[in-house]
A and B are shown apart, each in its own frame.
Chain A
């Protein structure tokens, strides 16, 4: 079955630690995205990647980093510089970055800072 997987489902982090959230897709999509969702809010874009070895900052990139070494994988690192990292993180992909292409989402990772 084609789809997007994210791991772990739940993640707990101590203050000052970096953590990495995994996102893998087997849909052969070129474009991948990371969004953050806070309670009662819609999603906000953190980073996106149009193609392997390329990525761009979204609206709220501060305190986050990404890599895109393989087409299938787009991991997100939440660094200690992120002031308020507790949130629900969703990864998405689309066939291309075109505005008409649907973004499909993974199941999400819920990050809690202790």
Chain B
């Protein structure tokens, strides 16, 4: 089973509108971290936002917010007031805690969502 599932291969949004990128995850750990990264066409992976499994509040960073629903195991990224420069691939990733028995050193990535912002 996939650890991170991003069901939207591509999304389109009009400039200045909000958009939600979906991410569901699978883990039996109690302690884990969820991350969103942006990858523009240049290739660099840019960190956007982090949510810890024990955080009670949804994370926010400027125009980015994370809609964390722990019971549903979802961690959707919300981008408000989209800009043309937001056009990129977006990856959801998870880092599990030591109790999983596996490595807690790696990020497990989804396959990404290609966001296109239209003028």
Binding site for B on A (CB under 8 A): 31, 33, 35, 40-45, 48, 50, 56, 58-59, 88, 90, 92, 97-100, 102-108, 110
Contacts and interface: CB of A to CB of B under 8 A. Distances in A.
Contacts of A105: 37, 44-47
B103 A108 contact: no
A97 B44 contact: no
A58 B103 contact: yes
A110 B48 CA distance: 23
Identify the interface centre among B96, B97, B107, B109: most chain A CB within 10 Å of its CB: B107
B104 A97 contact: yes
Contacts, number: 74
Given A42-B110, A42-B111, A100-B33, A110 B96 contact: no
Given A42-B93, A105-B44, A105-B45, 5 more contacts: A40-B111, A45-B103, A56-B103, A99-B95, A100-B50
Given A42-B110, A99-B95, A102-B35, A33 B43 contact: no
Closest 9 CB pairs of A and B: A42-B109, A105-B45, A45-B106, A99-B95, A108-B43, A107-B44, A99-B104, A48-B105, A43-B109
Contacts of B47: 102-105
A90 B45 contact: yes
